[in-house]
Amino acid sequence: MADYKPNHLNEKLKEREQEELKNKDLNSSENKPLALDDSQRVKVLSPARLVTKRFLKNKLAITGLAILIVMFTMCFLGAALYPYGQTDKFYKIAPLELDYAVCGELSSYTKYFVNEADMNDPVLDDLKLKFDSYIIQMESSNETELSVLQGDIEFIIEKVVDRVYVGYIAAQMEDFGTFDPILGEITAGETVEGLAEVLSSAVKEKKESVEFDGDIYFIKQVSKTKVSLSRLTAIDGEKKTIIATKLVFDAVNHKEQIDNKFKIAVLQNIADQTKPFTYGDKSYSFDQEDSDNLIIKDESGDPYVYISRYSTRHASGEDSLDLTFKMKAASIVDQLEAENAATYSFEYEVPQINPDTEQYDLDENGNIILTKETVNVVRKETAGERSFYFKYNMNRKLITIYEKPSAAHILGTDGDGYDVFARILFGGRVSLLVGFVVVILETILGVIMGGIAGFFGGWVDTLIMRLVDIFYCIPTMPIMIILASVFDAYKVDPYQRLFWMMVLLGVLGWSGIARLVRGQILSLREQEFMIAAEATGLRTSKRIFKHLVPNVMPQLIVSMTMGLGGVILTESSLSFLGLGVKHPLATWGNMINSVSTIEAMKSYTYIWVPVGILICLTVIAFNFVGDGLRDAFDPKMKR
């Protein structure tokens, strides 16, 4: 308990009161006429209630408050109750025309080594690499045989039938020796009878090469008395051979893989199709069904392999289509090629995909269920290559983007298949939260800094005000852009981004409030009531918080509420520019951003109009409430 000194003033006042009471008793016996006492007439309200009452009388402020209450319940409670979340994607099952198969001629030849052992031969490998270009050379000059001297090696490429070529190493060059054309003497490791005559006549005729006894001799004049000789010797016995073909082998049973060796055997015997050939222990025969398809039948006469010009594959590249479709495709492509047409459509039994499992529909036996669909064929040419795409409508699970408002989605869905209304609710949470946190941060910083500067003045004031000037100069936008790029670089979590954005906006925004508070306090502290407060011996803290701060309060509240609207706008524009809160976290700003092109804005008004209206409404409501509070706080206002 504090020590109370005897207070003579209080004692005297009490005495006076007692006396007055006595007099009053005496007076009351005189039966005074009844009069309305001022103390009975005036109803006294506490200051807080007075402010509330004044505030409630302001219609605009009430409207604003109602809007804000609706907004808050909607965003904070409504979002919790609404069935959809902000990142719930919505799907629908709808037919989508997708590629089923691709058919076309092979663009390059497939090469087979006749002997597996040759696979690692570098010379043959060289031939394999250049095979396609030799074939092109042959096709353009319409030759059936081509001999190429590649370094010391001679290759020979022969056309067997259309689209089948055989290439092998025919001969090899070696140094033979020298020849003296004047003496007609050959200096060599071996002696070839009669060569000298042929050579001397060839040298006289200045031939570069001469054929003798199946070998070709190349002549190179070194001097008048010396000619160097090299001999191209044909390789005897089994030749190292590559078979190249553009023909495609399709087994009748499409699940069966055809051995490369079988293909080689077929290709080796393809020149004479009348003769049957043997592979392994079995004998096979050729059969020409139509102009294009060659059929190879096994011993029992059943078709075993179809040979076609066209390769028909699944759109995924898998070779899992059955032969009937392949043959059908090949005939269609033939027809189209003949007509030089680009499109065609036909009915065909094709498999359907289950949209949920993304697998083919299977019956109980595990076989693919086929349904009749219209298959469209489209020709596509890329880099001179021509292929035909077989498409039909498949039932697929599709994201419901840009769906018009409906009962399921009150405001439709956006470009990511999210429910727009859910995103409005969750986005409102973020926008309002950002507004409040930033403004509170700004105000705390601003009141502390401005209050210190205003109350103490002098060098403290100068220092803080220069700091305020510096903060005024800091451009928010470039800093936000830099920060956004830093966040992008480090792939910062959207929530953390939000937090840092709030901190930055708060730290950059306090200077205005600090200036306001400082200005108010500077003028207030010179008022006589502050001197009176000092004269009554009040503590500094009380002088600041009971006399100065309440007087700054109205301006502060107005600037806070106006600031709230401003911060919501800033956040929206930052998010709109992609600098603020990032997708998939929703805010009102980045929702508008999702329809930033003129075309999108025209077509998807149901996405951006409600968000835009909400932003406007919120900002206006904050301003109304701010105005209302200012009027309510000002006791001089009479309304």
Partner 1 sequence: MDDKKFNNEVNQNDPGNDVVLEVRNLKKYFPIKSSFLRLVIGHVKAVDGISFKIKRGTTMGLVGESGCGKSTAGRTILRLLEKTEGEVIFNGKDIFKLSRKELRAIRPKIQIIFQDPYSSLSPRMPVGEIIGEAVKEHNIVPPEEYNDYISRVMKACGLQEYHKDRYPHEFSGGQRQRICIARALALNPDFIVCDEPVSALDVSIQAQIINLLKQLQNEFNLTYLFISHDLSVVEHISDTVGVMYLGNLVEYADTEQIFARPLHPYTKALFSAIPVPDPDYKMERIVLEGSIPSPANPPKGCKFHTRCNECKAKGLRVCEQIEPPVKEVEPGHFCACHLYDTVEEMERFEKELAEIDAKIAAKANAKK
- Which tokens in the block code for residue 381? 């040419």
Q: What binding mask, one character per residue, do residues 168-187 give for partner 1 by CB under 8 A, x or -?
A: --------------------
Cβ neighbours around 346 below 10 Å, total: 12
Q: Cβ 447 to partner 1, closest distance in Å?
A: 16
Q: Binding partner 1 by CB under 8 A: which of 26, 32, 35, 38?
A: 38
Nearer to partner 1, 551 or 570 (CB): 551
Contact yes or no for 581/594 (Cβ under 8 A): no
Query: Counting contacts by CB under 8 A, is residue 220 touching partner 1?
Result: no
Helix (H, G, I), strand (E, B) or coil at 417: coil
Give the DSSP H or E segment for 376: strand 370-382
Residue environment code for 542-552, b if the CB has 16+ CB neighbours within 10 A, otherwise e: ebbeebbbebb
Residue with Cβ nearer partner 1 (49 or 282)? 49
- Smallest distance, partner 1 to C-beta of residue 465, A: 16
Q: Which of 224, 491, 636, 639 binds partner 1 (CB under 8 A)?
A: 636
The residue (of 550 and 584) whose beta carbon lies closer to partner 1 is 550
**Shortest distance (Å) from residue 421 CB to partner 1:** 44
**Residue 514: CB minimum distance to partner 1, A:** 21
Exactly one of 550, 584, 605, 616 binds partner 1 (CB under 8 A); that residue is 550
Contact pattern from residue 263 through residue 282 relative to partner 1, giving x for each residue in contact according to CB under 8 A and a dash for the rest: --------------------
Give dist(CA 274, CA 290) in Å, integer.
15
Q: Which is nearer to partner 1, 404 or 546 (CB)?
A: 546
594 forms part of the interface with partner 1 (CB under 8 A)? no
Least CB distance from residue 462 to partner 1, whole Å?
Answer: 11
Q: Looking at beta carbons only, is 50 or 620 nearer to partner 1? A: 50
Is 291 a binding residue for partner 1 by CB under 8 A? The answer is no
Q: Return the range that interacts with partner 1 (CB under 8 A); candidates 40-48, 53-61, 73-81, 595-603.
A: 40-48
What per-residue string of b and e applies to 230-265 under the rule 16 or more CB within 10 Å gives b?
A: bbbeeeeeebbbbbbbbbbbbbbeeeeeeeeebbbb
Neighbours of 269 (CB within 10 A): 19
Q: Name 212's bridge partners.
A: 215
Nearer residue to partner 1 within complex by CB, 10 or 253: 10
User: Which H or E run includes 156?
Assistant: strand 153-161
Quick one: which H or E segment has residue 178?
Answer: strand 164-180
Region binding partner 1 by CB under 8 A among candidate stretches 7-15, 342-350, 361-369, 442-450: 7-15
Task: Lay out the site mask for partner 1 across 47-76 (x = CB under 8 A, - = otherwise).
Answer: x-----------------------------
Q: State the nearest-atom distance from the C-beta of 524 to partner 1, in Å.
A: 9
Q: Are 627 and 61 in contact (CB under 8 A)?
A: yes
Interacting residues with partner 1 between 127 and 146 (CB under 8 A): none
Distance, CA of 262 to CA of 584 (rounded, Å): 57
3-state secondary structure of 233: strand
**Local structure of residue 569 (DSSP, 8 states):** H
The nearer residue to partner 1, 12 or 404, going by C-beta atoms, is 12
Binding track, positions 503-542, relative to partner 1; x by CB under 8 A = ------------------------xxx-xxxxxxxxx--x
Determine the residue type at 405: P
Among 28, 31, 46, 223, binds partner 1 (CB under 8 A): 46
Binding window for partner 1 (CB under 8 A); candidates: 25-33, 388-396, 495-503, 549-557: 549-557
Shortest CB 43 distance to partner 1, Å: 10
Shortest approach of partner 1 to residue 525 CB, angstroms? 12
How many angstroms separate the Cα of 338 from the Cα of each of 108, 150, 310, 401, 627?
22, 39, 14, 42, 81
The secondary structure of residue 114, as a DSSP letter, is S
CB 148 within 8 A of CB 154: yes
Please pick, from the candidates 60, 192, 251, 553, the single residue that binds partner 1 as defined by CB under 8 A: 553
Q: Can you tell me the distance from the alpha carbon of 194 to that of 219, in angstroms, rounded to the nearest whole number?
A: 16
Q: What is the DSSP string of 32-73?
A: PPP---HHHHPPP--HHHHHHHHHHH-HHHHHHHHHHHHHHI
Tokens encoding 519: 């200005």
> Interface with partner 1 by CB under 8 A: which residues?
2-4, 7-10, 12-17, 38-39, 42, 44-47, 527-529, 531-539, 542, 546-547, 550-551, 553, 633, 635-636
